[in-house]
Structures are given as C-alpha cells and as structure tokens.
Amino acid sequence: MNENKKTKRILFLLPYLKAGGTERQLYYLTRELKDEYCVEVCIVEDTGSFKHFFRDIDLKIINTKFSKNNALKIIYKLRQILVRGDYDLVVSRGWNTNMIVSLASLNLKVKTMLYISGSVSGEKNYFEKTFRSWLFNRANKMISVSKEAKENCIKSYQNNPGNVQVIHNGVDLDLIKNSTINQNNVLKENNKFTLLFVGRLEYRKGLDYLLCALEKIPFQIRKNMELLVVGEGTKLSHYKKLAESLNLMEQVFFLGEKTNPFPYMRLADIFLFPSRSEGFPNVLLEAMALGMPVISSNCQTGPSEVIRQMENGILIEIVGVEEEKVSQAFADKIVLLFQEEELREKIGLQAKKDIENNFKLEDKIKEVKTSINTII
C-alpha cells in the first residue's frame, strides 16, 4: 500500500442509503477504496436499509430531510463537514447531489468529482441552466455511468467533453452468485411461470406498464403466470389498487423491499425492467449476470448500451410511444418468452456471458481509481 495515498481523504455524498443501485455501487466503491484512501460517506437523511453495508466506513449524517426546501441548510452543513474534515476529494455519487457538492465546496481547496447517474433534461429556466453549467464546469472530474448521459450533459450544460469520462457500473459476480443461496427460505411454491420486477415503486420505474401488460395477456396463458414485485415506494398503494382494478390480485404479489433480491432472481423465469428513465441500471446488469432472460424498456439512458435486441435481451421502445402500446409490447414479448423455452435459454446464456466479459466490478473500480489518481 502507498502510505502517501492512504493519507488522502475522500468523502462520498448521497441523499440516503435506501436499497437501490446507486447505493449498492457506492458500497462496492468504498469497499475497494478504503485500503488505499481514508474513505468516509456522508448521507443527508438518516434513513435506508443499506446502512449496515457501511459499518466499516466512517458514516457522517447531516440528519435533514432531503428536499429543495432544505437545500441551503444541507449545503451549509456539508460545507462545515468539508472544512472540518480537510478532505482532498468530495464525490457526489448521484445526480441529485451534484449541485449541493458544487456549492458547498466553492472556494475550498477540496477537489470535486460529480457523477452523472441519470438521464439529463436541461432546465427550462435560462438562469438556472446557465448557473448549473458554470458550477459543473468547475468540477475537477465528471463521471457518467452511460454514454448517452454524457452526450446529453455536454449538450445541455456545455461541459468540456474531455472532463466527462464514461465508466459503466460494474457487477460483483461472486457476491451475486453467493447471495442467491437460499438464506431466507425463498422457495418456489408452485409451478407457475414467474415474472420478476425489482425496483422502487415510483412512477419513473414504470411498474404500471407491467400491470397493464399482464392484464392484456389472454387469461388462458396468464393463469399460468405470476408477477413478483420486490420493492417499496410512494406508489405502493396506487399499484395495489391498479392491480386490484385489473383483476390481477391472484397473479401479482407485492413482497416489499429486500436488501438481497438475488434468491428471487434465481427462482424467476423472466426479469422485467420497465423504467421510463435511468442512469445505468444496476439491477438489470445483476439479473443478466445470473443468466436471466430480460425484457427492458429502451429508456434514456443505459439499457441500449447493454442489450442487443433478441441476442442477450429484449428492448421495448417507449420514447414517444403511447403507454397502451408500450404495455401491449411488453405483453407480446412476455408471451413470446413464455412459449419459447429455447429462446429464453439462448438469451439468458448470452446475457450472462456478456456481463462477465464487459461489466466486471474489478475492471470498473480500476477505471475509477485511475480517474481519482489524476485529481489527487
């Protein structure tokens, strides 16, 4: 270990530590960096089921609700932490904390790294857009988790292309495989064809597409299927009512949030990913790494950089497409994979091979380390 590196101090900022792809990626990153740097994590809200993953990391908590109304308070408290901590680098690991890190670090010696982890749609307000552009161009480095997100950010905020690096999310293959071991008595209780959704129950994640798709599948086929929904969110009650109104309560099961969703992936037949927008979907990579055939929306941004149509997955067009037609397209492809076992196996095997070849965690961590070393 380079002792000079070990004296370098890095602080990562996230709103909270809920069960999600961004949080899981931060866990991977801090786990690999802590032997070379002094690594700390700061969260705004003292919430989330992923906190136990960071028990070996110094965790700082601002303890304020993450909202626009509290933005100035959060910026002020983070600035105090930065001054007291004498950090060499502060990293915003999510798009929604980039402005906070940029403002809190103004006129401090600390270097900044901002992540573009979502699809970028520039502000309509000219002043806000110009101000954000000015702040982002002050960052020492910007990491985009997808090529499309980089292009959108450069177009929207006139960032220097040379300062925006694409590093896709990586997958810890060994951890995922070991996590599929039946730790919580997750058993398949019937012979039904199992569809799986894993994600937060928010509008952006598109579960309504799947519920409407399931209703469109002829009953003689649908009666042999079940949809497992793993996740929590503000739309839970709404989606339960929607499932009930579509007469799907015998096929749809809401299982709640699971810090370890992988046993369910092991048992399911198809993984469904209907998001309206993404950064670079971690859970999609994980499902593919386990050899699951996936049907995904071709949303902005991410899925099209992983999936090759009908080779290692299936993409459903959603941009500019009526919602009813999107649901019908999901229904058609679900039925196709239900009926074509050979196609399911072919797609799943190719997906597993592609993730193992192109998205290994250790390769992505090396890229992040190299980028950090150019800054501090």
For the chain, which residues make up each domain, given as ranges? 3-170+360-373, 173-358
Token pair recorded at residue 133? 């552009």
d(CA 136, CA 64): 24
The reported pLDDT for the residue numbered 158 is 84
Reported as a pLDDT band with limits 50, 70 and 90, residue 17 is: very high
pTM as predicted: 0.89
Give me the chain's average pLDDT, please: 92
Reported as a pLDDT band with limits 50, 70 and 90, residue 132 is: confident
Reported as a pLDDT band with limits 50, 70 and 90, residue 350 is: very high
Identical fold at 3-170+360-373 and 173-358? yes
Reported as a pLDDT band with limits 50, 70 and 90, residue 226 is: very high
Segment 258-286 shows an average pLDDT of 93
Segment 147-162 shows an average pLDDT of 88
Strands (E), the chain: 9-14, 38-43, 58-61, 89-92, 111-116, 141-144, 164-166, 193-198, 225-230, 252-256, 270-273, 294-297, 314-316
58 has a pLDDT exceeding 80 = yes
Angle, CA of 43, 46 and 50, to the nearest 5°: 80
Reported as a pLDDT band with limits 50, 70 and 90, residue 127 is: confident
Higher-confidence position of 241 and 4: 241
Q: Which residues contact 99 (CB under 8 A, 6 or more apart)?
A: 71, 132, 135
- The gap from C-alpha 273 to its chain's centroid, in whole angstroms, comes to 12
123 has a pLDDT exceeding 60 = no
d(CA 79, CA 109): 12
d(CA 318, CA 311): 20
Q: Is 249 helix (H, G, I), strand (E, B) or coil?
A: coil
Reported as a pLDDT band with limits 50, 70 and 90, residue 94 is: confident
d(CA 14, CA 96): 9
Reported as a pLDDT band with limits 50, 70 and 90, residue 109 is: very high
Check: CB of residue 82 under 8 Å from CB of residue 106: no
* Residue 241 main-chain phi, psi, to 5 deg: -65, -40
Half-sphere exposure of residue 133: CA atoms within 13 angstroms, side-chain side = 18
d(CA 219, CA 195): 16
Check: CB of residue 304 under 8 Å from CB of residue 371: no
The reported pLDDT for the residue numbered 5 is 55
Class of domain 3-170+360-373: alpha beta
112 has a pLDDT exceeding 60 = yes
* Residue 222 main-chain phi, psi, to 5 deg: -60, -30
Instruction: Please tell me the CATH code under which domain 173-358 is placed.
Output: 3.40.50.2000
Reported as a pLDDT band with limits 50, 70 and 90, residue 119 is: low
Q: Using only C-alpha atoms, what is the Rg of the chain?
A: 21
d(CA 23, CA 204): 18
3 has a pLDDT exceeding 60 = no
- DSSP symbol at 192: P
